[in-house]
Amino acid sequence: SFTGDVYAFPEGSIIYPNEPVITIVAPLIDAQIVETAVLTMMNHQSLIATKANRIVRAADGRVVADFGARRAHNVDAAIYGA
């Protein structure tokens, strides 16, 4: 089982460039085992959040609808992106 510690911004936080979003402190093997999963989830989620923020700001108060789940790579990606 994972024996390390994970430090991250709370969900919904505004994050600026060059800030560490997540830090994992663990023995090397533990960190390497979770690395791919963490990177995959964090990269996709931050991509979706950034694009959603840009779209809402560009809409300038108008209603926005999302149909991105129709083109997601798999069910998990559709759920994470919703």
**Parent domain of 73:** 5-81
What is the number of structural domains in the chain? 1
Higher pLDDT, 11 or 24: 24
Q: Can you tell me which residue has the tokens 């559709």? A: 78
- Average pLDDT score, the chain: 88
pLDDT at 57 (0 to 100): 95
| Span 32-51, pLDDT tens digits | 999 988 998 888 888 888 88
Cα torsion 2, 37, 46, 8 to 10°: value is 10
Q: What is the pLDDT of residue 22?
A: 92
> What is the reported pLDDT for 64?
93
